[in-house]
Chain A
């Protein structure tokens, strides 16, 4: 279909150009491009095309962030008075709001970094999981603040993303050690705090993140170490999982696996759900929140 071609090209090009950009941000950028090129005659048509576009994007990249970012984008651009008689005027208003939204979320990572780095004290030992650009930003800010700390990163199989993170930290001259996923319990007594990123923040205040995060949270609770999550606000999603089984399958596995494989029981899920009782604080661009305040923010964002 024409739409999918229009979508894929900017998305892929953006991710290739700037690997530092979150996939959700790239998705939203392509949605905006799509909106600009949309030929529909009615507002309803525009919305329908946007929804279809979001679905297409989810099929390419099945992360929670793309889904939540897309939905928030759609809500944000339509949350305005579209009473103009002229369709092109309405479309311009929507595009303007889209640009505003995009600008806001491009700045969100910086805001989170600024908020969180003060929680890292001099001489701290930090444990993190897999590769998160937000956590990297936080650690970057802390290092720029002349704080001395060491970082332990889990390997995070099956894609060894942890090694990538270790490389990036090494480039920032931060002492880093890669540990096995199985060594989280072993290393927990040495660390002072745990900071992880998130792919999605759910209504209960829990987070969805790379597989292995839940284990880390349980261990840190058992050792009474603070467990911090850093996430941008566009990752807030209207899901409410009760347990690991309750997370929808379309988020658990990569998009191409969902399409090709018949029996999902043989596949390894890529994400897990960490309940809010194990999380100490969440750092977002809306501020520092407790897990129970996330619901408050979600009600404000979505209702």
Chain B
């Protein structure tokens, strides 16, 4: 009798990192995979946290070897200029066994992924170069790498706490292909910080400094203060960053625009303005130059506030559309096309999607229902208003939490419509839940393993609702689905301004001088992650799906594109 995997485990396969429930989906697409490369793919996945970059799969053996030699040369030259960062070391080491590989070796070894250290010690059966110089070089390199590795291990001890970067540390030497963790979860790694600083300097985007003492479990995330927006560091007139982007960045960092849909729509509108004001420099192509122009804007916006999954997908879409503009297209025409693309994206993915979702959701609301909502989700509010207009008889319980108190906005909107509402704080949840017949939650993003990322407190509500056997429905548009996989709320999150937690009651502000108390840390988390077992139904514009079918939707979407 086989073992039943619990939901906290993940299956790491050569097809990707997947949740056990989604395992059978992989089988249906398994025909597209080639079995020879599964071992190498598995090795990649174990060290990867982001998507695999496949290089040169189709090259012939000769071409591959030539490429390896070139790479080795190139790296050697680069190495003399700078001190050796880890990734170059891997490329070096990887290319060491490469030229020693005889032409007769198995076709399973491709250009990009490279097998274990053991192959470096294999004696070559047939060599193209004279064996003596190769052995010499190898011995030299190995000595150098051993010393590097020793110093690197020492550095790594204090470093990363996020689980996804732990496999990066040790088997990193195997990988010539760089697996990049996003910058915003590597704050405690000085190397990554230096790289980020250099990149921002190059793009002339101000670097925002962290504020206050960070709780050690979250020290890999940024923590900014609202009193120091990055816009203060920009000189006027701004040359590199478009003014509408500066304004958008300020609105994000001050929390004036909040909420996944609002942020994405604002972003797209700002980009429309950017495209409108853009003019192609001479000797440049719009499709390439515009994408390069957008990069500093995106860096700036992520300094103001880390990008959400929906914004990431929107940016990917725009970049794709821009690079698909044919080169013979005139500038005016291209701009018009892009404006139309953005408009249709907003219309289809956000506005029409919410109409479709309301249609499905209203089927699930019956007369006499008591519906619980949490915080302020534009989509859930829209659904409830539509249902009320369609003469459904229900009442709503709005649950709210500090410090954002977003529930008050939701309450205001619903009461204005005429819906009967009750307002409680999240601490009263288990008291109020026996009355509730359904829970409607919004989502910030839906991850590839079926986990729901949403405002902090959502997973608590889902947990208690499950304990009381109340169905939990999550409403989410498909453009918020992302390829990332996460099982906990620590790896990738957002830390808000800790000063928000300070409150004045009866004239006394107890936490005013929290920075002076050495052992005190204030933690203001923004997101948390809900496992799919607590969610009964996800309503998307494609229909009603169980939480474990998110990878299916992602696959269908990729096929469409």
Contacts and interface: CB of A to CB of B under 8 A. Distances in A.
5 contacts: A204-B536, A240-B544, A242-B438, A293-B24, A295-B545
Contacts of B23: 290
Counting chain A residues whose Cβ lies within 8 A of the other chain, the interface size class is: 10 to 19
A203 B25 contact: no
A65 B61 CA distance: 57
Given A246-B364, A292-B546, 11 more contacts: A203-B546, A204-B536, A205-B546, A238-B543, A242-B364, A289-B24, A290-B21, A290-B23, A293-B25, A295-B546, A295-B549
A243 interface: yes
Contacts of B542: 303
A296 interface: yes
Interface string B550-561: 001100100000
A203 B539 CA distance: 12
Given A203-B546, A240-B537, A242-B364, A296 B25 contact: yes
A203 B24 contact: no
A100 to B, nearest CB: 22
A238 B544 CA distance: 9
The 8 lowest CB-CB distance pairs between A and B, nearest first, are A293-B24, A292-B548, A242-B471, A295-B549, A292-B21, A240-B544, A296-B552, A204-B546
Contacts of B516: none
Given A204-B537, A242-B364, A276-B546, A299 B24 contact: no
Q: Which of A203, A242, A290 has the most CB of B within 10 A?
A: A242
Nearest to B536: A242
Contact of A203 (B28, B469, B473, B545): B545
Nearest to A206: B546
Nearest to A286: B28
Interface string A250-280: 0000000000000000000000000011000
B22 interface: yes
Given A243-B471, A292-B546, A299 B556 contact: yes
A276 B535 CA distance: 12
A147 B546 CA distance: 37
Contact of B24 (A240, A277, A290, A303): A290
Interface residues of B, number: 25
A211 to B, nearest CB: 20
A294 to B, nearest CB: 8
A132 B467 CA distance: 34
A242 B533 CA distance: 14
A240 B23 CA distance: 22
B10 to A, nearest CB: 15
B24 A292 contact: yes
Contacts of A205: 546
A144 to B, nearest CB: 25
A292 B544 contact: no
Contact of A295 (B364, B533, B536, B552): B552
A174 to B, nearest CB: 24
A245 B24 CA distance: 30
Nearest to B556: A299
Nearest to A280: B4
Interface in B507-561: 533, 536-537, 542-546, 548-549, 552-553, 556
Contact of A242 (B28, B537, B548): B537
Contacts of B366: 245
A303 B25 CA distance: 16
Contacts of A245: 366
A295 B548 contact: yes
A205 B364 CA distance: 18
A292 B26 CA distance: 12
Contacts of A292: 21-22, 24-25, 546, 548-549
A70 to B, nearest CB: 20
B98 to A, nearest CB: 40
A303 B543 CA distance: 10
B246 to A, nearest CB: 43
Contacts of A203: 543-546
A243 B369 CA distance: 14
A296 B18 CA distance: 15
A296 B21 CA distance: 11
A243 to B, nearest CB: 6
Nearest to A293: B24
Contacts of A293: 24-25, 28
Interface string B466-490: 0001010100000000000000000
Contacts of B21: 290, 292
A296 B549 contact: yes
A61 to B, nearest CB: 24
Interface in A130-165: none
A296 B26 CA distance: 10
Interface in B132-185: none
A245 B543 CA distance: 21
